[in-house]
Amino acid sequence: MKKVLLLTLLACILGACGQQVNENSNNTSYEGKHEGIIVKIEKPDGEGNPYKGSYYMLVVSDVENINITDKSEEELITLAQENDGAFYIVNPDMYEDLDLDIGTQIVLYYNGQGDSDPPVREAGKIDVVH
């Protein structure tokens, strides 16, 4: 009887540990979250570029009342520096699946960033805001 009770208890404990691991693996956490509007998109293809094939997007917060279509690249970068903007490296599959374009409002989730101003971050997840 003691062996049956011990085996049942052991099975319950191991089962609970297995469920905890599965729950944690489904909840990917990110270091940061950024909501903004895409103001510039590039696809760098230069030789030696570590992000060749990926998309390079400039996303800026709080620009709903600003016309971004008539801005130069320098003006967009200044706008990003003043309004919590950042460059994001986005893999092609994620970019094409979401059909991203300039003017689209998105929420990006990322881990880490470069020291530039505006910073460069790698997008881990993107949600389109409708």
In a domain, 64, yes or no: yes
Residue entry with tokens 């505006």: 118
Count of the separate structural domains present in the chain: 1
| pLDDT, tens only, 44-102 | 776 666 667 889 999 998 777 777 788 888 988 888 888 889 999 999 999 989 989 98
The CATH number that applies at residue 52 is: 2.40.50.140
Whole-number mean pLDDT of the chain?
A: 80
| pLDDT, tens only, 39-49 | 999 887 766 66
Give pLDDT, residue 116: 84
Q: What would the DSSP string read from start to end of 36-85?
A: EEEEEEE----TT-TTTTSEEEEEESS-TTS--TT--HHHHHHHHHHTT-
In a domain, 113, yes or no: yes
Closest CA to 90 of 47, 46, 31, 40: 40
In a domain, 16, yes or no: no
In a domain, 78, yes or no: yes
Between 11 and 93, the higher pLDDT residue: 93
In a domain, 23, yes or no: no
